[in-house]
Amino acid sequence: MKLRDVDVIVVGNPPPGFGGRYFIFVKVTTACGIVGWGECYAATVGPEAMRAVITDVFARHMEGENPENIELMFRRCYSAGFTQRPDPTVMGAFSGLEIACWDILGKARDRPVHALWGGRMWDRLRSYSYLYPGPDEQAADFYNNPEASAAEAARMVERGFTAIKFDPAGAYTIRGGHQPTMPDIERSAAFCREIRAAVGDRADLLFGTHGQFTPSGAVRFAQAIEPYHPLWFEEPVPPDAPLDFATVAAGTRIPIATGERLSTKADFAMLLRLGGVGMVQPNVGRVGGLLEARKVAILAEAFSAQLAPHIYCGPVAWAASVQLGLSVPNFLVLETIGTCDGFYGALIGNTIQWEDGYVAPPTGPGLGIEVDEDLARAHPWRGDRLHLEMSEQPPDPRGERRFAGG
């Protein structure tokens, strides 16, 4: 087999847009006609610029290569331009292409991806989702209303979820780590209190932040939510400050989770060596692909940390994360976008099923999905904004600016 062609499809995510504004799918075809699908999560540049990066990475490091030689292609890409260090944009491009290679290999052998590297550890995967507003709720109201979120949490538990995530700690700001404001602390404690009262011991609370705080600010914040026993405190400090995660972990009894913005095992190895991280959250579409994500999981296992794959992107990366989770013993929980139905599920032909809080393994070869290419192409992204964007607003000590969600 030889890799021959790549096509990049940027899919606009229609309202309500949970999972991001768009999804970057890659379609890779071999010279013998096998098609593999992947997805790039990193989007630090616009879709057209990212399309050019993906095309360049494929042409330089992968075209004409046997898709089995994933380690060789990774090392070419990782070393390109005399770098040999994590580059989130280039690694994001390679990640989607690498996932497509695994899809090709599974299809060529008529086996699911997880069967190619150790087999299945789990018959189904526990899942969690963010709390999302309903179709009749205003986002700004919902994301600032502990009672509304508690009511939605209770509904999710009734549907089968045993873990739910929420992030009321304020805007994700470009200004870096800061001390939390008292309104942010009080609102977050209220969310934890109301949601814990609504779900009791039937579900874990996953408290999300996005690198908002300084180490001392994160410890102050953690002390306010500790009484409600969250399963994790996610990314409490910026991802470019690995030493600070251990400082926060030493100051709280809540386990620390992080990883959605990290790239390659090098980033994760630093955190694990320094200590303090209890859950790793690689996104297969940014970390370097499936093999690199599996290496991260193996590193985490050696440091007694568990795997919780991050998914705030499209269903192809989700399908790849299912294959990853099925194969590792230290899997903890998998993110889903709600129950991954509607447009999201239709993009992959509804080939992966969510039921009673768990994701069932797909039965087909490769990633086990059937991408609806016509549906994907019928929803092109025509905007000029990025998949996700951070706020420029400074922290508000009076709490007068309402946070309208990520």
pTM over 0.85: yes
Q: Which residues lie across from 22 on neighbouring strands?
A: 12
Instruction: Encode pLDDT of 57-84 as tens digits.
Output: 999 999 999 999 999 999 999 999 999 9
Sign of torsion over alpha carbons 50, 173, 187, 400: negative
- Residue 218 clears pLDDT 80, i.e. is over it: yes
Burial class (CB in 10 A: 0-12, 13-18, 19+), 111: middle
Mean pLDDT of the region 141-155 = 95
Residues 6+ apart with CB under 8 A from 200: none
Long-range contacts for 147-155 (Cβ within 8 Å, ≥24 apart)? Answer: 147/194, 149/191, 149/194, 149/195, 150/191, 150/194, 150/195, 150/197, 150/198, 151/198, 153/195, 153/198, 153/199, 153/203, 154/198, 154/199
Instruction: Encode pLDDT of 79-123 as tens digits.
Output: 999 999 999 999 999 999 999 999 999 999 999 999 999 999 999
Cα 401–Cα 174–Cα 394 angle in degrees, nearest 5 = 30
Residues 6+ apart with CB under 8 A from 353: 359, 360
- Residue 405 clears pLDDT 80, i.e. is over it: no
Q: 22 near 381, Cβ under 8 Å?
A: yes
Mean pLDDT of the region 37-62 = 95
Cα–Cα distance for residue pair 65/63, rounded to 1 Å: 5
| pLDDT value of residue 399 | 81
Instruction: Encode pLDDT of 169-191 as tens digits.
Output: 988 889 889 999 999 999 999 99
Structure token pair of residue 54: 């993906």
Domains of the chain, start order:
116-363 (3.20.20.120)
